[in-house]
Structure 1
Amino acid sequence: MIKTIYDHYGIKPPQLTDIGKYKGFQYRNILYIVVDLGHLDEEEIYEFHQMSQFLISQGERQVASFMINKNGGLITETDGKKYGICRVPYPIETSALAYGRELASFHQKGKLLPYPMEKSNRIGQWKGLWEKRLEQLEKFWGMKVQEHPNNETDKRFIESFPYYLGMTENAIQYLTDTEIDDLPRTFDTATICHHRFTLSTWKRDSFFKMPTDWVFDHPSRDLAEYVRHLYFKSGIFSEKSLFDFLSEYEKIAPLSSFAWRLLYARLLFPVHYFESVEGYYSSRSEAEKQAYENDIEKIIHGCIQYEQFLGHFYNKMGISTKRHHIPEIEWLQ
């Protein structure tokens, strides 16, 4: 890899070190990050490049940008694999990153993006994507039922799936009603979002923003996924931490009723369950399988508490559903 970097970019790193989930190196106060691009096509990579260049032009801090190689391209191929190199000013360390304010500012700049996004676009596509994902897992579930397995995790999956199928149908219906009954406002312009925005997306100890994390979508995507992460994974969930995050965000970008409803629909959609089950059955590593198994167990055992969280969500966030004409789901009340 060091030789490839030298041959294609003219930089010779002394060594590659771990930088979060990436490999990279530091050279003259710039951090260079090696990115595996094998799962992305050229158009999508070019869209990421456009997004990062635009955000940098808007003064967005700590955005990583793709380097152009000696052939004038963003992609470098070696040993049948595709790579790119992103560079970012050496990450600042911050112990006081206000995620809500930082995310709102990021979204505000992303809404000004003047280029059409096609490959990375997810706006208006949630319903189709959720239906497709549900259909795939339902087929797999049917196969497992016919196998009559003895494995405990298989049994748990077989028993729990009908419940999460119902939750998914609720989410799809809530989303459909929102798109029919409510109108998008100024806030609801599409922006640069993240595939999954979590506490570790912008690390406090090495704060930079990677274009390969991004999608072009409604801002409520990031808010919902951050809330989901706080609830299930962070170990620091409290109603106060959640309220503070959303309040910080709304100081810069107040949410519309349409946005609150999209956020809620996304929380209803049990992507945490889907990802854990899919991860368990696709993983080849025993350690990973065990981690996914633990996640599945935790999700299933906590389903009543999550129902209660969803049932009181609007009220706890200080949102008057009557004033904003936001429907609530009766069976969750």
Structure 2
Amino acid sequence: MSYDLLAKHFGLTPERAFFDGVMDRYMAGGLLYSIVSVSNVEQETLVEMYKLTEHMKTQGDRYVSSFVQSKEGRFLVTEKNQDFVVVRNENLPPVADGKIGRKLGKFHFRGRLFEEKVEKISRMGQWKTLWERRLSQLEKAYYSVIENQPADEFEKRFVESYPYYNALSENAIQYLVDTELDEDPKPEDAGTICHERFQNTTWGTESCIHFPFHWVFDHASRDLAEWIREQYHLKNQTFHPGLQEFLREYGSVAPLSPFGWRLLYSRILFPLHYFECIEEYYISQSDGQKKAAEDKLDRYLKNSNHYEAFLSDFYHLSEVPVKKWGIPLVGWL
């Protein structure tokens, strides 16, 4: 259907299609096209994304996707009762190793210059509410398992580990609340274009694409925290040099304020990996997926002392002058 859709509505005949680690891309006339299903995306959200992509283009971002008009002059096309948009990108090489921090800093700097109010994709000031909601869902699952007795090894480990991760989550929420009470945000703490979950491959592995359907509007520390979280879990014994290089590179373009550092730390403190692991287990459709979640939980629990050490050393590793800026540490770590 993809080839038909591109030919019928956009007059395009792709020479090839490939999966770039993020989604399918179609090469036509030296440009890359991506088809996005938007049946469940509100029109106002699409308008915000369109405005943000246009803004990034005017700021000189060559990697940002452009929304493509169909032959009928419309951005939205319908095929088999489903709505789609198509976006186009230049075929530019992926970000070189070690340069992602600097590129992200530049991206955030440009995104911060957007002057209109962003509402639909904004997550500014919402972390506390979202974390509390997630914690309350996990708490319900925990009490349900206790009530019905743990059915298997995974549930036993969940019941044993939950109080610890509940306390860690409460610490993260408290650290966030204290930050918002204690620190005055600086101009560089204004909202910018961020990503739902920024990771090493978010911008693609075959070519570099700033894809608006990954975007949210938030404090820049969100992207830094999620990149650091992924790197820690991928290579927790060897991530130090990469972390320092990433943060130095980022800081050379867009230094964080004390408020920004504290937000970043609260986000790393929140044990998202644990929440996702438990959720994965309960929504798994197959024994293989359940087993993968089980193995992951095992690994996290065995690694919890190392994770605590990482949280305890984080400011030191990141070369943050905590004394000079009066940044509080978490006492028990």
Q: TM-score, normalised by structure 2?
A: 0.93
**Which residue is equivalent to 1:203?**
204
Does the C-alpha gap of structure 1 residues 79 and 158 become closer, same or farther in structure 2, counting only changes over 3 Å? farther
Matched residues in 2 for 1:38 and 1:156: separation?
39
Structure 1 unaligned spans of 5+: none
More off after superposition, 275-284 vs 10-19: 10-19
Does the C-alpha gap of structure 1 residues 93 and 260 become closer, same or farther in structure 2, counting only changes over 3 Å? closer
* Conserved 8 A contact 1:95-1:205: no
- Offset at 1:128? 0.7
**Which residue is equivalent to 1:260?**
261
SS at match of 1:299: helix
- Offset at 1:92? 1.8
**Which residue is equivalent to 1:102?**
103
Per-residue CA deviations over 1:236-286 (Å, capped at 9, x if unaligned) read 842221111101111111111000100000011111111222122113244
- In the alignment, structure 1 residue 43 sits paired with structure 2 residue 44: yes
**Structure 2 residue identity aligned to 1:21:** V
* Conserved 8 A contact 1:44-1:119: yes
**Structure 2 residue identity aligned to 1:141:** Y
Q: TM-score, normalised by structure 1?
A: 0.93
**Which residue is equivalent to 1:233?**
234
Matched residues in 1 for 2:277 and 2:160: separation?
15
**Which residue is equivalent to 2:146?**
145
- Offset at 1:188? 0.5
**Which residue is equivalent to 2:92?**
91
- Offset at 1:163? 1.3
Matched residues in 1 for 2:242 and 2:277: separation?
25
**Which residue is equivalent to 1:118?**
119
- Offset at 1:94? 5.0
Per-residue CA deviations over 1:19-64 (Å, capped at 9, x if unaligned) read 3232231001100112233443222222112111111111112111
Q: How does 1:1-333 map to 2 (within 5 A)?
A: 1=1, 2-13=3-14, 16-70=17-71, 72-93=73-94, 95-96=96-97, 98-234=99-235, 237-332=238-333
**Structure 2 residue identity aligned to 1:176:** V
More off after superposition, 3-12 vs 249-258: 3-12
SS at match of 2:324: coil
More off after superposition, 297-306 vs 101-110: 297-306
Does the C-alpha gap of structure 1 residues 120 and 316 become closer, same or farther in structure 2, counting only changes over 3 Å? same
- Offset at 1:310? 0.7
More off after superposition, 219-228 vs 286-295: 286-295
Matched residues in 2 for 1:20 and 1:57: separation?
28
- Offset at 1:191? 0.3
More off after superposition, 224-233 vs 64-73: 64-73
Matched residues in 1 for 2:25 and 2:237: separation?
30
Matched residues in 1 for 2:229 and 2:108: separation?
19
**Structure 1 residue identity aligned to 2:26:** F
Root-mean-square deviation (Å): 1.9
Per-residue CA deviations over 1:135-178 (Å, capped at 9, x if unaligned) read 11211222122221332122222221221111111011000000
Per-residue CA deviations over 1:211-248 (Å, capped at 9, x if unaligned) read 11110000000111111111012578422211111011
Matched residues in 2 for 1:170 and 1:251: separation?
31
Matched residues in 2 for 1:91 and 1:289: separation?
39
Does the C-alpha gap of structure 1 residues 18 and 310 become closer, same or farther in structure 2, counting only changes over 3 Å? same
Percent identical among aligned pairs is 39
